[in-house]
Structure 1
């Protein structure tokens, strides 16, 4: 089978990236062989190719998200065999592409317990794009324990995780869902286009919530100044969940009035998309299936992504920062 493969001789140098012809994996007990149709290139995949994760073992086929068809299973039971021929999709935390070979190949071994049937409204291309962003958004909302009484603010609402979080907060029945983004093309409730973020957020959030403040913030941006300014707008018992932080040799600290934080009963919730197991993420995808079937949760249009063939994926997929899907055919 054709595959992409990372090789790293020593931790002192970045991995090398190459196309490879590898044996098709043989199903092991508890696993299914999935023929990958499409796989997205997530930011974490690009970071993995640069040696950004110390727990990655080499040589390694990268890739976390996928859609495809089950072609074989090892278990000789009727329940296992019913998966053969079904269209499936999925994602991974720090397993696929890190500790075991991932989805940027024509075939991949997936734990049978992690198989999730692709919802009918999603094309195979769309299904390959939703794994990391959708499960990350749901992780944030679950950890923040969003209820129908909550006003939710999503920072970075135009992005993949942010736009999913907006839809999911509405699907969960949140009382009010507010959006914040730096670009005005999505017409956010809060346009983050000023240097004085604290004053901007204070005025806009107060006006939008009748002075109540926000009960939950889902932060997909990870900017310390924005984070500090937004925390001031949390209502009593407010929860702040975030998924990102600056990288490199820059200041990652935030300003927090701990007196006000404990008086208001605030909770800070860091959400790491690499933490869940592939089986746990499969449960999240199954949970979302009803929303997808009912049209409450929609993936981005196929036209929003560049589809590249596997032979071109290193240059045109990993070598750029846009939204890229690898066609494995």
Structure 2
């Protein structure tokens, strides 16, 4: 089968498009014909060596959508999707024509989504869903999403609305404000860190119950915007991994910080999440994703390089129709 594979890390040129043996499913596993596979920044970082636990040689790729062609009778022929910490790191991933996974590590693909659309959602949508669940977002929660225009942030806004939260997006550019308001969301313009507290309190009197910072740069400023007993969820940090926290202000508010890392969740746990929110697509509560950049797998190195340079395109490898 055709696949992208790397045998060393540190440079994207280590990624090769080549023929490798088709995997054979073990007991309790399924063999999936991959129809589409998403490309995430973590896949790029994996080839660059940012995850020292990755074993090699390795086929990268976490997110996928495809058809089960071997496995339990109940899954044969089913259209499935999935993601998780194992593919691409501890076992071969989705940037290949075929993939094996535990049978419990796949979820039935929503019928409203194409293979390409489903493959674009795994990491960003499980990240957003996990952030809101672990931050206890529910009906009436005053939710601020910082970086609301990104893949994770926009998913968090949509989930927050479905969960009945009062949702506020924070973005950097005026045209992003306009876009959010056209989609029915309140929004504020991010400017000076010292102004965030006043901006949020002008909308949510007393502050936000949950602040989800998808950027990694607003954690200290978020404390001033937090309500009593509020939660700040984070998924990123500055390059050096350190921030100066106004700890006194945080503990006086009874606040807490919640770290969100989808690489803590295996394929089975992720399949449960996909089942939980996948129904929203078929119920018409979540819109189908658009603006996806489809690419053949043999152009994989070029796509990896573009993502590494900061391309905002959501890339999906379309392997077969």
Length-normalised TM-score, structure 2: 0.92
Q: Any idea what the Cα deviations from partners look like across 1:279-316, whole Å, max 9, x if unmatched?
A: 00000000012222222223421xx122111111111x
Could you list the runs of 5+ residues in structure 2 that have no partner in the other structure? 181-186, 308-312
Correspondences of 1:60-209 after superposition (within 5 Å): 60-73=58-71, 80-93=72-85, 95-174=86-165, 176-187=166-177, 189-192=187-190, 194=191, 196-199=192-195, 201-209=196-204
Distance (whole Å) between structure 2 residues aligned to residue 294 and residue 231 of structure 1: 36
Correspondences of 1:1-329 after superposition (within 5 Å): 1-8=1-8, 14=11, 16-73=14-71, 80-93=72-85, 95-174=86-165, 176-187=166-177, 189-192=187-190, 194=191, 196-199=192-195, 201-209=196-204, 211-223=205-217, 226-247=218-239, 250=240, 252-256=242-246, 258-301=247-290, 304-315=291-302, 317-321=303-307, 322-329=313-320
Distance (whole Å) between structure 2 residues aligned to residue 293 and residue 142 of structure 1: 21
Aligned length: 306
Query: What's the counterpart of residue 184 of structure 2?
Result: none
Aligned-pair distance for 1:20?
Answer: 1.6
Distance (whole Å) between structure 2 residues aligned to residue 204 and residue 259 of structure 1: 21
Query: What's the counterpart of residue 76 of structure 1?
Result: none
Distance (whole Å) between structure 2 residues aligned to residue 14 and residue 54 of structure 1: 14
- CA contact 1:130–1:299 (8 Å) conserved in 2: no
- CA contact 2:17–2:300 (8 Å) conserved in 1: no
Distance (whole Å) between structure 1 residues aligned to residue 288 and residue 206 of structure 2: 32
Distance (whole Å) between structure 1 residues aligned to residue 170 and residue 250 of structure 2: 23
Distance (whole Å) between structure 1 residues aligned to residue 37 and residue 188 of structure 2: 33
Distance (whole Å) between structure 2 residues aligned to residue 212 and residue 40 of structure 1: 40
